[in-house]
Amino acid sequence: MNKVENNRAWFLVLPVLLLVAFSAVIPLMTVVNYSIQDILDPHTRFFVGDEWFREMLRDSQLQSALGRQLIFSFSVLAIQIPLGIAIALCMPTRGIWVAISLVLVALPLLVPWNVVGTIWQLFARGDIGLLGVTLNSIGIEYNYTRGSTAAWFTVLAMDVWHWTSLVVLLCYSGLRAIPDAYYQAARIDGASRIAVFRYIQLPRLAGVLTIAVLLRFMDSFMIYAEPFVLTGGGPGSSTTFLSQHLATMAIAQFDVSRAAAFSLIYFLIILAISWVFYTIITRATKD
């Protein structure tokens, strides 16, 4: 749609701007303020410039947490996006089953995040949980509190369980928006299913996929409550992702300045990667 140039449109955006800025700007400035000072107690603080930033970037624990985080987030995207699209293609398009499958599919999304951790904790326990008991009885040694591989895969399975439906819902709605005429034209041309998917469905899903990829990336990159409840970051530090590392620094060690510097770095990483995704997808759809 060709848009009209009109700067008075700012008045329509103003309420959003004010409301969001109220909660966004001051906390961000405060965090920047923490990050460049050495705070000994509420009345004694020194300006230290970029010292914390340098220190944090060299911190080996942080680097390994970042590595784990990247592997985790990209595994999440690699599983959830294709799986979500596939399930969306399987969803019914008319009849009573539409409502039933929508409600069932959306259910995991509506579970508070600490409850998600609790569900999986109970579900995966080797002695009383269905998953743990089943795996152990078919001869797979499984104990997510001891084995770091088991813990990692349990967190991943939990995230797939929790969030794939977001991709499903968005893609389902995107698919439903494709006019029937497109499919009729494809049928006349004798297009294969794969061709229909590649040249009709996938391009029309670009918009919803942008938001799905971005949301899944941001949220998985900041995952906190679920693994915190499930594994507490362990065993060892195998499931300590970035925000848990950050929370330990900020809350347990009460090292506000270092943690502030770290969160700004963290924020910039998310920002940079999201920007790359956003640009790639919007570029790809322009062609």
Partner 1 sequence: MERTKKIGLIVYILFLMIPIYWLINLSLQPNRDIMGSFSLYPQNLTFDNYRRIFTEAGWARGYLNSLIYVLMNTVISITVALPAAYAFSRYKFIGDKHLFFWLLTNRMAPPAVFLLPFFQLYQTVGIFDMHIAVALAHCLFSIPLAVWILEGFMSGVPKEIDETAYIDGYSFPRFFVFIFIPLIRSGIGVAVFFCFMFSWVELLLARTLTSVDARPISVVMTRSISATGVDWGMLAAAGVLTLIPGALVIYFVRNNLARGFALGRV
Report 52-111 residues binding partner 1 (CB under 8 A).
83, 86-87, 89-92, 98-99, 101-111
- Could you tell me which residues come within 8 angstroms of residue 50 by beta carbon, excluding any fewer than 6 positions away? 36
Q: Is 233 in the site for partner 1 (CB under 8 A)?
A: no
Phi/psi-derived region of residue 233, left when phi > 0, alpha when psi is between -120 and 50, beta in every other case: left
Could you tell me which stretch among 47-55, 57-65, 147-155, 250-258 binds partner 1 (CB under 8 A)?
250-258
Sketch the per residue contact string, 188 through 207, with partner 1: x for CB under 8 A, - otherwise. Answer: -----x----------xx-x
Near partner 1 by CB under 8 A: residue from 151, 152, 167, 174 = 174
Could you tell me which stretch among 39-47, 55-63, 148-156, 170-178 binds partner 1 (CB under 8 A)?
170-178
Minimum gap (Å) between residue 86 Cβ and partner 1: 7
Near partner 1 by CB under 8 A: residue from 6, 44, 60, 192 = 6
Q: Is 128 in the site for partner 1 (CB under 8 A)?
A: yes
List own/partner pairs for 221-226 with CB under 8 A and 24 or more apart.
221/69, 221/73, 221/269, 221/270, 221/273, 222/270, 223/72, 223/159, 224/113, 225/113, 225/114, 225/116, 225/117, 226/113, 226/114, 226/116, 226/117, 226/120, 226/155, 226/158, 226/159, 226/162
Q: What angle do CA 203, 204, 206 make, to 5 degrees?
A: 65
Q: Is 232 in the site for partner 1 (CB under 8 A)?
A: no
Q: Give the residues across from 47 on adjacent strands.
A: 37
CB 231 within 8 A of CB 145: yes
Minimum gap (Å) between residue 163 Cβ and partner 1: 11
Q: What angle do CA 231, 237, 242 make, to 5 degrees?
A: 90
Q: Which tokens is 86 given?
A: 């596939």
User: Residue type at 144?
Assistant: Y
Q: Is 115 in the site for partner 1 (CB under 8 A)?
A: yes
In this structure, what are the phi and psi dihedrals at residue 190, rounded to the nearest 5 degrees?
70, 35
Q: State the number of binding residues for partner 1 (CB under 8 A).
A: 105
Q: Is 276 in the site for partner 1 (CB under 8 A)?
A: no
Minimum gap (Å) between residue 185 Cβ and partner 1: 18
Near partner 1 by CB under 8 A: residue from 40, 57, 71, 271 = 271
Residue with smaller CB distance to partner 1, 114 or 184: 114
Maximum CA extent, the chain? 77
Closest CA to 200 of 209, 213, 191: 191
Near partner 1 by CB under 8 A: residue from 202, 218, 235, 238 = 218
> Is the bond preceding 82 in cis, omega lying within 30 degrees of 0?
no
Could you tell me which stretch among 23-31, 37-45, 60-68, 145-153 binds partner 1 (CB under 8 A)?
23-31
What is the rounded distance in angstroms from the CA atom of residue 68 to the CA atom of residue 62?
Answer: 10
Minimum gap (Å) between residue 46 Cβ and partner 1: 19
Q: Is 177 in the site for partner 1 (CB under 8 A)?
A: yes
Q: Is 40 in the site for partner 1 (CB under 8 A)?
A: no
Sketch the per residue contact string, 135 through 164, with partner 1: x for CB under 8 A, - otherwise. Answer: --------------------------x--x
Near partner 1 by CB under 8 A: residue from 9, 71, 185, 195 = 9
